[in-house]
Amino acid sequence: MYVQIKGLNFKYKNSKEKILKDFTIEIEKGEIISILGESGSGKSTVLRLISGLEVPSSGLIRINDRVIVDNNTFVLPEKRGIGMVFQDYALFPHLTAAQNIKFGLKKLTKKDKNKRLQEVLNLVNLEDFKDRYPYELSGGQQQRVALARALAPSPSLLLLDEPFSNLDADLQCKIREDLRKIIKQTGITSIFVTHDREDSKAIADRVVILKEGQIVRVGKPKDILD
Ligand SMILES: Nc1ncnc2c1ncn2[C@@H]1O[C@H](COP(=O)(O)OP(=O)(O)OP(=O)(O)O)[C@@H](O)[C@H]1O
Ligand SMILES: [Mg+2]
């Protein structure tokens, strides 16, 4: 298995009850997992723990045989090699699409940066829009910039938090398929969270149903959502 999450428990400082209870899942390399649950069920919290924005009270997370958090270990977020696409895309408004994408590539030479930029622009089909600012792009285009920015440093794991929440219904349907295609093309292991069953059906290889911080079912979309 490529990602192992075992017995994760978590509570925010000012919350009375546990937000996550014994969250456990193993993910294969290249697999797309969706975490499906109602608002407040703890979906974003799972992603915050994996990316290192929060520390679990107990449990273990391992990626590609490297423990990133357990009782004795805490790898800093920027050292985890995890890409993240946020609900609101979180693009830098004063940077163009190309500059946003290159932001995460600080360590590369100028030549390598531009090469990688071309590759990911190609992947998300945005070559013609690279010099536009976020406000000059549609919601769907902004989402693809955010995806390209997350993919550019070739992360070991991609996390997406409700990637369609800002798109209208028509666009959402089209982009679902594009997103699955793009992710599968890169072969990157991914976890995306949503409250929308149709998102899970269209994109995920496997679905985890989360209820009040607890996993209640795991399975293929066709087996547990139809
Ligand atoms: N910083 C915080 N401090 C205290 N409680 C929090 C904090 N952030 C979230 N919570 C609580 O933790 C629970 C889970 O929140 P989380 O954001 O993980 O839910 P979610 O499933 O992502 O919901 P949504 O679909 O609305 O985004 C909620 O009850 C929320 O109120
Ligand atoms: Mg959330």
* Calpha distance 87→225 (Å, rounded): 23
DSSP states of 66-127: EEEEETTEE--GGGS-EEEE-TT----TTS-HHHHHHGGGTTS-HHHHHHHHHHHHHHHT-G
Residue-wise pLDDT tens digits, 121-172: 998 889 999 999 999 998 889 989 999 999 999 999 999 999 887 777 777 8
Determine whether the shortest distance from the Cβ of 42 to ligand 1 is under 6 A.
yes
How many A from CA of 68 to the centre of ligand 1?
23
Q: Which atom of ligand 1 is nearest to the CA of 48?
A: 18
Residue-wise pLDDT tens digits, 78-135: 999 999 998 778 899 999 999 999 998 988 899 999 999 999 999 888 999 999 999 9
From 9, 11, 12, 195, mutation site for ligand 1 pocket: most ligand atoms within 8 A of C-beta? 12
* Calpha distance 89→160 (Å, rounded): 10
How many A from CA of 44 to the centre of ligand 2?
4
**pLDDT score recorded for residue 87:** 79
Listed residues: CB within 5 A of ion ligand 2: 44
Predicted model pTM: 0.93
Q: What is the domain partition of the chain in residue ranges?
A: 1-80+199-226
> In the CATH scheme, what is the code of domain 1-80+199-226?
3.40.50.300
From 44, 47, 162, 200, mutation site for ligand 1 pocket: most ligand atoms within 8 A of C-beta? 44
